[in-house]
Amino acid sequence: MNIIQNQSLKNYNTFGIDAKAKEFIAVNAIDSLIEVVGSKKDLFILGGGSNMLLTQDIQKLVVHVNLKGRAIIEENEDFVIVKAQAGENWHEFVLWCIDQGFGGIENLSLIPGNVGTTPIQNIGAYGVEIKDTLFSCEALNRKTLQIETFTNAQCQFDYRESVFKNELKEQYIITAVLFQLTKKNHAVSTTYGAIETELSKQNIQNPTLKDVSNAVIAIRQSKLPDPKELGNSGSFFKNPIISKEAYEKAKALHPDMPHYVVSENSVKVPAGWLIEQAGFKGKRFGDAGVHKNQALVLVNYGTATGSEVVALSQLIQQTILAQFGIAIEAEVNII
Ligand code: EPU
């Protein structure tokens, strides 16, 4: 086992936080992964590092899951099942699928991170979530060292949630994800307002998969910071889902508050709106800040520590609670 001591994790987390791993290993093959997990060391599993905030050094063996490969597993005239190993870069995988003419994940273009972490928080953007096309995923049981298959239903997906974040937290390591994609009659989803606006700006009426992907890329680039230029983990908070009653109460005081109906009794409120109204958009506190174009995204201007970002997130949470009576919860894993 090629274990490195005292490895900086700065290049392994999109927030660009300079925390250290006491021990670190990058794993390129299933057999090596099984060997490491079987070693009974205290482990910290690291995928693309795009949804975590490091607030301290990690006194464990950090295992960077770097399994590569994509393959077509099954196909007929209409559908294809594609398998991607956990360490594949998500956006490169999306572009590869589009190049092959496979539809279903084009709205998820340009999301940072690796394939293996996408099911954990059921990534979603512009009207599409991973649960809409995920066929199954393969995961290593950390106790039995067996690879098990989870069907879509067994993943128990919900808004930014899955079984891997809840009941099975830290019990499995996702090694590969299989997607069922369309080969023709693609159900392109452009209903998310910004996509339609972007496509009509370009005079496109019957968008191809590539057109939708390009529109999403343009929207993301205009709103969301590129982690290579400005450290961040995408949305830092989840959009809160509150009762209709709580919403009516808040709306009476804040009539412009936008919302999306989730069920008969609950609505989702954009946390970005709450944060902007509370005056945090574009604000900087040392090297930690709130992004100027999307208030849901916290950023690291260079040398912010994880604790500084957490302190800012707590200040935001307290202010929103006091001002709107709404609790907002972090989406990012705070380590
Ligand atoms: N808004 C503001 N000010 C802001 C940001 C947002 O007022 O600074 C309000 C506006 O009313 C806007 C609404 O919030 O119409 C929605 O904003 P946006 O379309 O940017 O989406 P979001 O709800 O803020 C979610 C996801 C994003 C995803 C977008 C697009 C969550 C936590 N975030 O953000 O996902 O890209 O929708 O579908 O659900 C991520 O998870 O890392 C992520 C970037």
Q: Is the CB of 247 under 6 A from ligand 1?
A: no
What pLDDT, on a 0 to 100 scale, did the predictor assign at position 119?
Answer: 97
**In the annotation, is 235 catalytic?**
yes
**What does the pLDDT read at residue 211?**
96
Q: Annotated catalytic, 196?
A: no
pTM of the model: 0.92
Q: What count of Cα atoms within 13 Å lies in the side-chain half-sphere of residue 77?
A: 1
CATH topology of domain 231-334: 3.90.78
Among residues 88, 138, 308, 331, which one is catalytic?
A: 331
- CA 258 to ligand 1: nearest atom: 11
CATH number of 4-65: 3.30.43.10
For residue 236 and ligand 1, the question of a CB distance below 6 A is answered with no
Rounded Cα distance between 47 and 174, Å, is 9
Extract the residue ranges of the chain whose pLDDT is less than 50. Answer: none
Q: Does domain 70-223 have CATH number 3.30.465.10?
A: yes
Q: What is the pLDDT of residue 191?
A: 86
- At 124, give phi and psi (nearest 5°): -155, 150
> Catalytic residue among 160, 162, 220, 308, which?
160
Instruction: Tell me, yes or no, if 331 is annotated catalytic.
Output: yes
pLDDT at 67: 97
Provide the pLDDT for residue 281: 97
Strands 20-27 and 58-65: parallel
pLDDT of amino acid 155: 98
Give the pLDDT of residue 100.
97
Separation of 25 CA from ligand 1 center, angstroms? Answer: 35
Q: Give the start-to-end residue ranges of the domains of the chain.
A: 4-65, 70-223, 231-334
Decide: 235 in ligand 1 pocket, CB within 6 A: yes
Mutation probe of ligand 1 site: the residue of 236, 260, 296, 326 with most atoms within 8 A of C-beta: 296
